[in-house]
Amino acid sequence: MTKVMVVCGSLRKASLTRELTDLAFNHAKKTADADYLNLSKVNVEWFRGWEESYGSETRDAVERLTVSDVLIIGCPIYDGLLSSPLKNLFEHVNYKSLEGKVAGFIIKSGSTISSLQVQGQLVALMNYFRVISNPRAVYAFDEHFDKKGKLKDKGIEARVRRLVDETIGMFQGKKG
């Protein structure tokens, strides 16, 4: 069975990115062996170099990421860039350990500004790790959520499910 890792790259308590990655995880676990790495709940230490030793929580997070076949990455946009905690997670990963995996992206920002730029940053990051990126990302903006932070746009919900299914399919098609 395909192993899917859904990553939420937001540390915010009331994270809209987490709303989207929760949806992705709940959908992925219907058809795959799904795991969820919520960076607001896992203490991934700041990368200090390869010569340093890191705690078990950091090592476990990296191990869970690297044993997965498919990555669904939820990334908030901060100041036109991908989130620092998400980038930090990948600093801990040996570039050879992700080769051949497939990734899909869920990108959340306040508005349409920077969405394509951050998708480009994520694709470049995945290219470094030799991960195949699904070209169809999901973009969500503040207007897609109600005042309580719940997703109100059924179109976004459908796109998240489609992204998960397509990205898993890309990996399974690559194997066959």
Query: What is the per-residue pLDDT across 53-70, written as a single tens digit (0 to 9) for each?
Result: 999 999 999 999 999 999
Q: Which two tokens stand for residue 95?
A: 């570039």
* Average pLDDT value for residue range 41-54: 96
Statement: residue 155 has pLDDT above 90: yes
Statement: residue 174 has pLDDT above 90: no
At 161-170, the pLDDT tens digits run 999 999 999 9
Statement: residue 122 has pLDDT above 80: yes
Give the mean pLDDT of the chain. 95
- The model's pTM: 0.95
How many Å apart are CA 161 and CA 4, to the nearest integer?
A: 13
pLDDT given at position 90: 98
Domain layout of the chain by residue ranges: 3-175
From the list 56, 140, 136, the residue with the least C-alpha distance to 104 is: 136
In the CATH hierarchy, which fold is given to the domain comprising 3-175? Rossmann fold (3.40.50)
Q: Which two tokens stand for residue 166?
A: 């397509």
pLDDT given at position 176: 57
Q: Which two tokens stand for residue 50?
A: 């390869």
133 within 8 A of 105, measured Cβ to Cβ? yes
At 129-149, the pLDDT tens digits run 999 999 999 999 999 999 999
pLDDT given at position 80: 85
How confident is residue 5, by pLDDT bands cut at 50, 70 and 90?
very high
Statement: residue 175 has pLDDT above 70: no
